[in-house]
Structure 1
Amino acid sequence: MRILLLGMGSRGDVQPLVALGQRLRRMGYAVSLAAPADLGHVVAGSGVDFEPLSFDLEAPLREGLGRDSLRGSARTQVREARLMRHVMAQTADALAADVARLVDRADAVVSGALTLDLVDALLASGDRRGRPAKPHLYAVFAPVWPSAHGDSVALALRPRATSWVNRAWSGTAGRVAFDLFRPAGDLVRKRKELPRKRFRDYVAAAERTPTILAASPHIVPPAPDWPPALRQTGYWVRDAATGSPDRSLDAALEAFLAAGDAPVYVGFGSMPTPDPAGVSRDVVSVLGRLGVRGVVSEGLAGLRVERSAEVLGVGPAPHDALFSRCAVVVHHGGAGTTAAAVRAGVPQVVVPHAADQPYWGRRMADLGVAPPPIARKDLTPARFERALEVALSPGARETAYALGERVRAEDGVGDAARLVDTYLCNVRK
């Protein structure tokens, strides 16, 4: 049986699916993973078949509209939403054609947030109960369902309370998300002469689709008002024994780590910043005042530092190999980066830029492994220095180490693979 995993999105949307694909292959399934063409290096060496989509996603973030808009997302989520709408509209034709071809060859599909509606449209069978023509599961890496429980939903107006306001607000966020993600699904329905889906139809499809949340319950508390179709596992982590050039540290970084005390890691993933030179300068200045070494991820954020005995600028580096050798991880609050830092057992400083990132920053603070998050627009040298002082404290180190031990004890990807296998076996009966 061939299972298609759809990793539409950034590296954080693809890497967990690689881990799931490896476990499913062990169970005897043939597994392919579709992702933007420029993310093939994330899948390389895993044993999972890579199916490149006919467009890139990382490259557009480095220049033009994508970079300009993501810079603005540090200040307003309206601008971020406009960027997402633009990206999804521009890629709708290619995405619909690519996914239609791949779904046709697969026996079962695991989709993500950006492709749930598209796959639902492709698999529409006319069944009165809405059952798909092939088994379809939904994988997500953040708690996105409307909920009254503020610590269990990514978008909440009262994040530390249980309130109807949280459920209403997160439901509104879901409506906005559907409007952003729907272009490819709308194309397919039009071609199949199906009616355009309303938001309530989208909600019904999501609630009946078996869904797996890949986030540790130690971090995201299960909410009693989640839909019955939702099952939660721990994080999905790729097999450590699998060799890949994407999982080893380069010689310069190894030498830097061995030459002194554990450094502070600073990196903002795929989130560009309005003033990369200024941020780089402030980071180096604060690290110097605190007397700590630093590893600065240059990447899409555009940060650049001059190499010295105390500071090293690096390109992409595997978080699971690097973070455990750092004193503190400073990051943007992406779901995957947060999970890697938690598993490494080190304190964090979270600088949220957009989307679900404020949620992860808040959860890290609530769990005692980070100071309160600093919104990107509020990041100043003084705030950064105070936050680092908290993260470097013995209390934060002890709390982070203990949390890391609990999370590493989970077998989230193994649990997820068993859930997929059980569902597929029941469908075949």
Structure 2
Amino acid sequence: MRLLLLGMGSRGDVQPLVALGQRLRRRGYAVSLAAPADLGHVVAGSGVDFEPLSFDLEGPLREGPGRKSLRGSAWTQMGEARLMRQVMAATADALASDVGRLVEQADAVVSGALTFDLVDALLAPDGGGDDRGGSPTKPHFYAVFAPVWPSAHGDSVALALRPRSTSWVNLAWSRLAGRVALDLFRPAGDLVRARKGSPRRRFHDYAAAAERTPTLLGASPSVVPPAEDWPPALRQTGYWVRDDVDGEALDRELESFLAVGDAPVFVGFGSMPTPDPDGMVRDLVGVLGRLGLRGVVSEGLAGLSLEHLPEDGAAELLGTGPAPHDVLFPRCAVVVHHGGAGTTAAAVRAGVPQVVVPHAADQPYWGRRMADLGVAPPPIARKDLTPARLQRALELALSPGAREAAHALGERVRAEDGAGDAARLVDAHLGPRGGSPTSRGLEA
């Protein structure tokens, strides 16, 4: 049986699917993973077949107008939303064509947040009418790595106005967030429906389709508390981690830096921007110097480069490109990051304290959860980051209480096999190989 995994987005959207693909291959499935062409290196060596989409995603964002737009959007979530809408609109035609071809060749599909509506449109029964309520023509699973369902429970939903309480306000606000998300992600699905002669989807129908689709939440219940108002089709697992992660290696320069001194502070914001990367690095150097700490600075899309620093001021800093977090983070004293779901998961599994600097979307949620779990100080929004606040946050993260809490949480989370559990749920839902899927959602 041929399973297609769709990894539209950045590395954090693709890497967990590699882990799921590996576990599904163990169960005898032929698995391919489709992602933007410049993310092939994330899939390489995993044993999962890579299907490159006909466009790059991270590359254009690193250069020229894309980089300028990213930096300008760093101050507001509205800027991030506009950029996401532009990306989805610009890639809609190619994405619809690529995914349509791949879905046609597959026996079952696992989509993510950026491709769910597109796949739902592609798998809607033909007939020229509305696609509401019809069973998909092939099994379709929805995989997400943050709690995105509307919920009254503030600890269990990514966007909540009253994050530490249970309130109808949280439910209403998270439903509104779902409407905004559909507006951002819908261009490719709209294109497919227009070609089929179906009407443009309303939010009510989008929500109903999501609630009836077997759904996998790849996030540890030790971090994301299960909510009683989640839809019955949802099943939560632990984090999805590659089964060959221990075999990944750091580059020689980074390995040498780690070997000759105290564990450093890692600083990196992944695909998130910053308006003044040189100023941020200068501030970072000053803070680490005052605390007597070494640092590893990941350039990322923020462009955090050590190039313009005086050589004598950067003796205990190392700049690096992409590095496997699951190998690097356990050798760090603190991880300073943007609060992306994948980076947060890697830091939790590493069992080290964190400082979270949220930029947009679900990142404030992860920062808040890390603080509530005692493994990080309260998050510092990107627009509020100052040297004094960063220094205080690092002092709290280095405290014995934070270190002990991070170690204990890491032990609990590492004991889970989220990708294995997810593969088992998919396998059970599909039923006997080659037969019909079960009529119910994912079985517990």
Q: TM-score, normalised by structure 1?
A: 0.97
- Letter of the aligned partner of 1:369 in structure 2? V
CA-to-partner distance for each residue in 1:224-243, whole Å, 9 max, x for gaps?
00000010000000013675
- Letter of the aligned partner of 1:393 in structure 2? S
CA-to-partner distance for each residue in 1:59-92, whole Å, 9 max, x for gaps?
1211344323332333211111111111100000
The aligned counterpart of 1:168 is: 172
Contact 1:75 1:377 in 2 (8 A): yes
CA-to-partner distance for each residue in 1:343-402, whole Å, 9 max, x for gaps?
000000000011100000000000000000000001100000000000011111011000
Q: Does 1:266 align with 2:272?
A: no
Q: Which of 222, 225, 228 does residue 229 from structure 2 map onto? A: 225
After the TM superposition, which residues 15-414 of structure 1 pair with which residues of structure 2 at under 5 Å, given as runs? 15-126=15-126, 129-240=133-244, 243=247, 247-305=248-306, 306=309, 308-414=314-420
Q: Which moved more, 1:296-305 or 1:147-156?
A: 296-305
Q: How many angstroms does 1:272 deviate by? A: 1.7
- State the aligned residue count: 426
Residue 236 of structure 1 aligns to a residue in which SS? coil
Q: How many angstroms does 1:258 deviate by? A: 0.6
Q: How many angstroms does 1:298 deviate by? A: 1.3
Contact 1:45 1:242 in 2 (8 A): no
Inter-partner Cα distance in structure 2 for 1:260 and 1:32: 42
Contact 2:326 2:346 in 1 (8 A): yes
Residue 401 of structure 1 aligns to a residue in which SS? helix
Inter-partner Cα distance in structure 2 for 1:200 and 1:271: 31
Contact 1:72 1:79 in 2 (8 A): yes
Contact 2:245 2:327 in 1 (8 A): no
Q: How many angstroms does 1:204 deviate by? A: 0.7
Q: Is the alpha carbon distance of 1:149 and 1:428 closer, same or farther for their aligned partners in structure 2, counting shifts above 3 Å? A: closer
After the TM superposition, which residues 3-18 of structure 1 pair with which residues of structure 2 at under 5 Å, given as runs? 3-18=3-18
Residue 120 of structure 1 aligns to a residue in which SS? helix
Q: Is the alpha carbon distance of 1:228 and 1:260 closer, same or farther for their aligned partners in structure 2, counting shifts above 3 Å? A: same
- Letter of the aligned partner of 1:82 in structure 2? R
Q: TM-score, normalised by structure 2?
A: 0.94
Contact 1:72 1:80 in 2 (8 A): no
- Letter of the aligned partner of 2:53 in structure 1? L
Residue 75 of structure 2 aligns to a residue in which SS? coil
Inter-partner Cα distance in structure 2 for 1:129 and 1:120: 11
Inter-partner Cα distance in structure 2 for 1:231 and 1:37: 30
Q: How many angstroms does 1:51 deviate by? A: 0.2
Q: Is the alpha carbon distance of 1:144 and 1:238 closer, same or farther for their aligned partners in structure 2, counting shifts above 3 Å? A: same
Contact 1:73 1:353 in 2 (8 A): no
- Letter of the aligned partner of 1:341 in structure 2? A
- Letter of the aligned partner of 1:368 in structure 2? G
Inter-partner Cα distance in structure 2 for 1:76 and 1:256: 36
Q: Is the alpha carbon distance of 1:357 and 1:73 closer, same or farther for their aligned partners in structure 2, counting shifts above 3 Å? A: farther
Q: How many angstroms does 1:299 deviate by? A: 2.3
Q: How many angstroms does 1:129 deviate by? A: 4.1
Unaligned 5+ residue runs, structure 1? none
Q: Which of 413, 424, 428 does residue 418 from structure 1 map onto? A: 424
CA-to-partner distance for each residue in 1:121-149, whole Å, 9 max, x for gaps?
00001587411000000000000000000
Residue 177 of structure 1 aligns to a residue in which SS? helix
Inter-partner Cα distance in structure 2 for 1:300 and 1:90: 20
Contact 2:245 2:326 in 1 (8 A): no
Contact 2:269 2:337 in 1 (8 A): yes
Contact 1:151 1:160 in 2 (8 A): yes
